[in-house]
Amino acid sequence: MRHVWIAAVAAAVVLAGCTSGNGGNTSPTSSANDAAAVQYMDKVCAAASEFAKLEKSAPKLDSGDPAKLKADMAAYMGQLSAAFTKSAEELRKVGPSPIAGGEAAVNKMADAFTTLAATFTEAKTKIEQADANDASGGLQAAGEAIAKLSQLADPLKDLEAVPELEKAATSAPKCQEMRNLGVAPTSN
């Protein structure tokens, strides 16, 4: 299940929406826009941080106790669903972007989080309905849900398409907090 942990950490990086930006010189006239972009990205990272607060590793899976394995994995799927749901809700509350394209990128992230929340809810239901005596009962649903975390590359690409926000993320305090937690990449 090490790949589950890696996928979850990778998802957290994407969820953060806080990537390293390209450094550059700013003119005095752009400082107000820069400050507004930093404030906006601070809100975005704070909104997306629900997932960052979640334990990144799957529960220790005891294949010797199928009922416990099923219960633990169902609980983990529920935690992932709740975290994605909360982040999606918070992203939708961030408000208008001071940078053109920012609001659309954040809305796409929120939509992706909503879809992933539904995927994990469905996986949880399948796990709960599976026969605990079947060693793989329901775990396939969990694996499929976790595999869908790769869809988070699209929201990241959307944020990368707005260089001003990407740059602002390097200065936004909430994005920095996520970096300090090891959730977001450090600047190159």
Q: What is the pLDDT of residues 93-123, one digit of tens each?
A: 999 999 999 999 899 889 988 998 999 999 9
3-state secondary structure 36-93: HHHHHHHHHHHHHCHHHHCCCCCCCCCCCCHHHHHHHHHHHHHHHHHHHHHHHHHHHC
Per residue in 125-153, pLDDT (tens digit) is 988 888 877 756 677 888 888 787 766 65
Q: pTM of the predicted model, to two decimals?
A: 0.73
Measured distance CA(148)–CA(77) in Å, rounded: 13
What's the pLDDT at 136? Answer: 66
